[in-house]
Amino acid sequence: MSAGAGFADHFSGHATAYARFRPVYPDALYDWLAAHAPARALAWDVATGSGQAALPLAARFAAVFASEASAAQLANAVPHARVTYACEPAERCSLPDASADLVAVAQALHWFDHPRFFGEVRRVLKPGGLFAAWCYELMHVSAPVDAVLWHYYEDVIGAYWPPQRRLLERGYVDIAIPLTPIQVPQFEMTADWNYLQFEGYLRTWSATQRAQAALGHDPLADVRPAMQAAWGDAEAVHRVVWPLAVRAGVK
């Protein structure tokens, strides 16, 4: 969700929309994490954003430490009795040594200083503790919508994605994780949205925000007629699917 020390904050300017429109990770993923952690005492949710992963983790772990470098993101987080929110970078965690059963990173690993961050992961994890980082890339709706969506993603706002986006596009395979790797089943994230919800999500993209600031107009206006034609009735609800890429390892 956001980066660590000295981070370039791509999300705080639209943190409320981010919290409203971001899709929800599947319960099956959280069940898998809980089943493979050595215990369920403490999970560290790194770069929690507005707490999208913290609350489901709190349903499965006795305590969740949810850290986030962006105060604006944390301002939109939902309080929970088992979640402690902290405004701090991923590379400097205030948790004690060997304290966490799970370190989880949802859609944020590409922002970090990886050597420093993984030093903290190895310090904070208990022996046998589980690390898992996941990301999702471009979603699928239907062939007509996907064609316009790809044009928008690559041709209209492609120049405005930060370079770290390429790590995400490749499912984090280019990031060295200094832990014993374990296999993860395939998961996917889904949402049932009408057109306004779909466009609201596209508006949360950092590249959409950066393009609008640079161009002085809404880049979505460039594709809206084609996107609406591909979608059909604006009130029609379509299933939106994001395949998840998950990398996991054990200390």
Looking at the structure, give the CATH architecture of the domain made up of residues 12-250. 3-Layer(aba) Sandwich (3.40)
Identify residue 62 by its one-letter amino acid code. A
Determine the pLDDT at residue 23: 77
Is residue 159 predicted with pLDDT exceeding 70?
Answer: yes
* Local structure of 195: helix, strand or coil: helix
Determine the pLDDT at residue 13: 45
Is residue 7 predicted with pLDDT exceeding 50?
Answer: no
| Strand pairing category for 238-250 and 180-182 | antiparallel
Is residue 8 predicted with pLDDT exceeding 80?
Answer: no
Banded pLDDT at 11 (limits 50, 70, 90): very low
What angle is formed at CA 106 by the lines to CA 54 and CA 146, rounded to 5 degrees? 125
d(CA 105, CA 111): 11
* Local structure of 94: helix, strand or coil: coil
Cα atoms in the Cβ-side hemisphere of radius 13 Å centred on 154: 9
Determine the pLDDT at residue 24: 87
Determine the pLDDT at residue 110: 94
Calculate mean pLDDT across residues 162-174: 92
Sequence-separated (6 or more) residues with CB below 8 Å from residue 234: 194, 195, 196, 228
Sequence-separated (6 or more) residues with CB below 8 Å from residue 6: 89
Determine the pLDDT at residue 68: 97
Determine the pLDDT at residue 21: 66
Mean of the per-residue pLDDT values of the chain: 92
Determine the pLDDT at residue 229: 98
- Please tell me whether the overall predicted TM-score, pTM, comes out greater than 0.75 for this model: yes
Is residue 119 predicted with pLDDT exceeding 70?
Answer: yes
d(CA 202, CA 184): 28
Sequence-separated (6 or more) residues with CB below 8 Å from residue 155: none
Alpha helices in the chain (DSSP H): 15-21, 27-36, 54-58, 71-74, 114-124, 143-151, 165-169, 195-203, 206-215, 224-231
Calculate mean pLDDT across residues 84-94: 97
Per-residue model confidence as pLDDT tens digits over 25-79: 999 999 999 999 999 999 999 999 989 999 999 999 999 999 999 999 899 899 9
| First vs last C-alpha separation in the chain | 24
- Which is nearest to 199 in space by CA: 160, 164, 225? 225
Is residue 158 predicted with pLDDT exceeding 70?
Answer: yes
Domain ranges of the chain: 12-250
